[in-house]
């Protein structure tokens, strides 16, 4: 019985012109989206790898130099490319991918690729996530809006109701009939992605990411299917159902995310970059909260160091006090940076909470956040990358200052280190973490998506059968 109902629904959908058209369009978009995403991944990867190798080579072969000069010569760090970015570019085009690291200064990632793109880029990129999160739900709605209201208008609902069919089974069959095509499109994309990325990251990670992605999509599509069926059952005419669903899609996919973005920036504004860096520089100079200004710190360290080594003149110290002073300055600066960046991270966290709460109005938001997170293209991963770069910067600057401190004497600015020291600076590496660990950081988004699925599911299961009895428009 159930099987027959399900097959009948599928058959009816297949006979609709709009169904075939939209399926063709989706498949035509799905395959290039994956293929081109993969091509971009490969070219980005080779650029980043070549850039990192060349940078390392330049660093190691920079020739004899004072370590502090080398610390200002600095090292460019390039953000690695996650293979899963084929799936979803996320924030990548809008977040800097290059960081110049040097002594005294914590710089942010810069050179956002979006800066070099045309207006077209602001309309979105044709990635698998774009197809699956934006277009497929639209497809679901367009094909499912008349599932019940259409039958009511044609009068067939009257016949169905008069038959012995259990309304819940009927609903379940209609609900499930929305999925074969979605599974086909999603399956094609996931399958193609798996084939292309096989061997580019550990199989367990790839399979986990695919499974989690499928879970997110099923929850999201389940929510959309619930909404579609609910509207189709409750509203009077197919017109109303269609308008209502399109309104929901538009609000959920376009308006709420943009409103959330604007509200987040308006309620919790991030400081202007010049003001932010200016304040850090000033605080480093005048001391945190105005205490312990730089010149006093320097004087105190000088006095303490002379006392520690029991000498009266800096020339008699067994170390180069300039190296020590610079490292102490780094340590102090790091405290200032930490404080400011913690405050900045708190602002970002508040902004992201706006997105989380906005998820109550849009199931797309949590789905998109989870998709980006799985792809390693979310703001959390970017934040971890920035932190990793900063740890790398601090470590190598300390290595250079320590070398200067122990290998030269105070006032000896002519001291030069060589390749031996440069080679001791480790190569920067960044671990994206496993998809599961990244996914775990977005439990709130998963909770929201689950909430959407459950609430719309319960409403559909509760209300739709009642309205199914209403056989006239």
Query: Measured from the CB atom, is 278 or 426 closer to another protein?
Result: 278
- 3-state SS of the chain: helix, strand, coil percent to 5? 75, 5, 20
Which of these segments, 103-111, 176-184, 195-203, 433-441, binds another protein (CB under 8 A)? Answer: 103-111
User: What is the distance between the terminal CA atoms of the chain, rounded to a whole angstrom?
Assistant: 26
If one asks whether residue 424 binds another protein (CB under 8 A), the answer comes out as no
- Identify the residue among 80, 96, 363, 366 touching another protein (CB under 8 A): 96
Tokens of 355: 């997105």
Spell out the residues 6+ positions from residue 231 whose beta carbon is closer than 8 angstroms to its own.
145, 241, 244, 245, 248
Phi, psi of 102 (to 5 degrees): -155, 180
Q: How far is the CB of 377 from another protein (least distance, A)?
A: 9
- Identify the residue among 261, 306, 444, 454 touching another protein (CB under 8 A): 261
If one asks whether residue 62 binds another protein (CB under 8 A), the answer comes out as yes
Beta-bridge partner residues of 77: 99
The Cα–Cα gap between 11 and 436 comes to 39
The answer to whether 302 and 314 are in contact (CB under 8 A) is: yes
Q: How far is the CB of 403 from another protein (least distance, A)?
A: 21
- Identify the residue among 14, 21, 198, 462 touching another protein (CB under 8 A): 21
- Of residues 127 through 146, those in contact with another protein by CB under 8 A are 130, 134-135, 138, 142, 145-146
Phi, psi of 6 (to 5 degrees): -60, -45
If one asks whether residue 257 binds another protein (CB under 8 A), the answer comes out as yes
Tokens of 271: 């400081």
- Identify the residue among 5, 41, 44, 235 touching another protein (CB under 8 A): 44
- Identify the residue among 5, 6, 29, 67 touching another protein (CB under 8 A): 29
The answer to whether 253 and 134 are in contact (CB under 8 A) is: yes
- Identify the residue among 1, 7, 20, 25 touching another protein (CB under 8 A): 25
- Identify the residue among 94, 179, 309, 357 touching another protein (CB under 8 A): 94
Tokens of 106: 């914590």
The Cα–Cα gap between 309 and 289 comes to 31
- Identify the residue among 13, 223, 382, 460 touching another protein (CB under 8 A): 382
If one asks whether residue 148 binds another protein (CB under 8 A), the answer comes out as no
- Identify the residue among 55, 102, 314, 412 touching another protein (CB under 8 A): 55
If one asks whether residue 263 binds another protein (CB under 8 A), the answer comes out as yes
User: Greatest CA separation found in the chain?
Assistant: 105
Q: How far is the CB of 400 from another protein (least distance, A)?
A: 18
If one asks whether residue 119 binds another protein (CB under 8 A), the answer comes out as yes
Query: Measured from the CB atom, is 143 or 408 closer to another protein?
Result: 143
Residue 88, classed as helix, strand or coil, is coil
Q: How far is the CB of 3 from another protein (least distance, A)?
A: 29
Spell out the residues 6+ positions from residue 24 whose beta carbon is closer than 8 angstroms to its own.
none
Which of these segments, 4-12, 49-57, 321-329, 445-453, binds another protein (CB under 8 A)? Answer: 49-57
The answer to whether 269 and 350 are in contact (CB under 8 A) is: no
- Identify the residue among 113, 286, 334, 441 touching another protein (CB under 8 A): 113
The Cα–Cα gap between 433 and 438 comes to 7
Query: Measured from the CB atom, is 96 or 435 closer to another protein?
Result: 96
Query: Measured from the CB atom, is 358 or 456 closer to another protein?
Result: 358
If one asks whether residue 157 binds another protein (CB under 8 A), the answer comes out as no
If one asks whether residue 169 binds another protein (CB under 8 A), the answer comes out as no
Please give the C-alpha separations between residue 168 and each of 5, 146, 161, 229, 262, in angstroms, as whole numbers.
11, 17, 12, 12, 42
If one asks whether residue 357 binds another protein (CB under 8 A), the answer comes out as no
The answer to whether 249 and 228 are in contact (CB under 8 A) is: no
Give counts: helices (H), strands (E), the chain.
Answer: 20, 2
Q: How many residues in the shown chain lie near another protein by CB under 8 A?
A: 92
If one asks whether residue 359 binds another protein (CB under 8 A), the answer comes out as no
If one asks whether residue 203 binds another protein (CB under 8 A), the answer comes out as no
Spell out the residues 6+ positions from residue 46 whose beta carbon is closer than 8 angstroms to its own.
none
Q: How far is the CB of 248 from another protein (least distance, A)?
A: 12
Query: Measured from the CB atom, is 116 or 312 closer to another protein?
Result: 116
Query: Measured from the CB atom, is 5 or 26 closer to another protein?
Result: 26
The Cα–Cα gap between 457 and 188 comes to 27
Phi, psi of 246 (to 5 degrees): -65, -35
- Of residues 277 through 336, those in contact with another protein by CB under 8 A are 278
Tell me the Cα Rg of the chain. Answer: 29
Which of these segments, 36-44, 221-229, 388-396, 426-434, binds another protein (CB under 8 A)? Answer: 36-44
The answer to whether 219 and 364 are in contact (CB under 8 A) is: no
Q: How far is the CB of 55 from another protein (least distance, A)?
A: 7
Q: How far is the CB of 21 from another protein (least distance, A)?
A: 8
């Amino acid at each position: 019985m159930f099987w027959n109902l399900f097959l009948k629904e599928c058959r009816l959908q297949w006979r609709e012109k709009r169904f075939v058209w939209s399926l063709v369009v989706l498949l035509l978009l799905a395959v290039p989206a994956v293929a081109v995403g993969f091509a971009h991944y490969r070219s980005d990867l080779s650029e980043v790898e070549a850039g990192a190798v060349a940078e390392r080579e330049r660093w190691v072969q920079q020739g004899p130099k004072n370590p502090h000069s080398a610390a200002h010569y600095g090292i460019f760090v390039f953000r690695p490319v996650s293979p899963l970015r084929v799936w979803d570019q996320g924030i990548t085009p809008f977040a800097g991918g290059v960081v110049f690291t040097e002594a005294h200064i914590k710089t942010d990632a810069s050179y956002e690729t979006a800066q070099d793109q045309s207006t077209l880029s602001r309309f979105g990129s044709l990635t698998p996530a774009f197809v699956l999160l934006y277009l497929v739900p639209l497809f679901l709605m367009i094909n499912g809006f008349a599932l019940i209201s259409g039958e009511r208008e044609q009068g067939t609902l009257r016949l169905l109701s008069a038959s012995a069919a259990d309304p819940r089974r009927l609903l379940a069959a209609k609900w499930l009939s929305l999925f074969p095509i979605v599974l086909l499109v999603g399956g094609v994309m996931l399958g193609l992605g798996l084939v292309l990325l096989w061997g580019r990251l550990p199989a367990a990670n790839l399979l986990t990411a695919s499974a989690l992605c499928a879970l997110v999509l099923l929850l999201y599509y389940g929510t959309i299917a619930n909404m579609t069926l609910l509207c189709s059952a409750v509203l009077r005419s197919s017109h109303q159902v269609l308008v209502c669903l399109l309104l929901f899609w538009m609000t959920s996919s376009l308006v709420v995310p943009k409103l959330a973005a604007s509200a987040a920036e308006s309620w919790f504004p991030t400081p202007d970059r010049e003001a932010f860096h200016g304040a850090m520089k000033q605080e480093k100079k005048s001391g945190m909260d105005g205490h312990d200004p730089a010149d006093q710190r320097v004087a105190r360290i000088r006095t303490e160091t002379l006392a520690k080594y029991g000498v009266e003149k800096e020339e008699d110290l067994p170390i180069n006090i300039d190296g020590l002073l610079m490292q102490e300055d780094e340590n102090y600066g790091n405290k200032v940076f930490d404080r400011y960046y913690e405050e900045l991270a708190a602002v970002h966290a508040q902004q992201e909470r706006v997105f989380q709460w906005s998820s109550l109005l849009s199931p797309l938001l949590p789905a998109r956040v989870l998709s980006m997170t799985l792809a390693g293209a979310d703001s959390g991963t970017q934040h971890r990358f920035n932190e990793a770069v900063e740890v790398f910067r601090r470590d190598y600057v300390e290595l250079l200052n320590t070398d200067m401190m122990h290998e030269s004497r105070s006032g000896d600015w002519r001291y030069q280190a060589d390749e031996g020291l440069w080679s001791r600076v480790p190569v920067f590496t960044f671990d994206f973490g496993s998809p599961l660990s990244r996914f775990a950081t977005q439990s709130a988004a998963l909770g929201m998506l689950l909430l959407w699925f459950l609430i719309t599911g319960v409403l559909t299961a509760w209300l739709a059968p009642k309205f199914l009895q209403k056989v006239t428009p």
